[in-house]
Amino acid sequence: MVKYEEWHTLQTRGAVDPGHDEAVEGSLLVGEASVLQFTANQSTYGEDTVFIFPAFHKGERCWVKREEWSAAYGYSAAGIQETVISFEEGVKLFLERSVFEFPIPVEAK
């Protein structure tokens, strides 16, 4: 079972260019735990660890993609970028990694 919490902002801190949190339009419910994790954007400077969270934005199924930059040895940049991606875009990420299940919220008793 997945527990969802309401988010009011998304982090937009690039590894080099730190930004302010971005306000979310409408209601955004995000699962407390990621359901997919992988590395991306690998280079000699570091890599992103990507986390995919199940979410509902304005009542529609979607995902929150969190990219956390991890600097390579000798570098110190860090940043977190969160974006809401469409359900279809998230399913594509899951299909590319052979994962197929999407948890649905359970009504409170």
Domain boundaries, the chain: 4-96
What pLDDT, on the 0 to 100 scale, is given for residue 38? 92
Q: Is residue 100 over pLDDT 80?
A: no
Q: Is residue 19 over pLDDT 80?
A: no
Return mean pLDDT, the chain. Answer: 86
Instruction: Provide the pLDDT confidence category of residue 44 given band limits of 50, 70 and 90.
Output: confident
Contact 49, 39 (CB under 8 A): yes
- Distance between CA 86 and CA 105 in Å, rounded? 18
The alpha carbon of 62 is separated from its chain's Cα centroid by a whole number of angstroms, namely 10
What pLDDT, on the 0 to 100 scale, is given for residue 82? 94
Neighbours of 85 (CB within 10 A): 17
Instruction: Provide the pLDDT confidence category of residue 12 given band limits of 50, 70 and 90.
Output: confident
Dihedrals phi, psi of 85, to nearest 5 degrees:
-115, 155
Ranges 6-10, 21-25, 32-36, 67-71: which has the least confidence:
67-71
Please name which of 47, 54, 49, 51 lies closest in space to residue 7, comparing C-alpha atoms.
54
- Distance between CA 3 and CA 105 in Å, rounded? 7
pTM equals 0.80
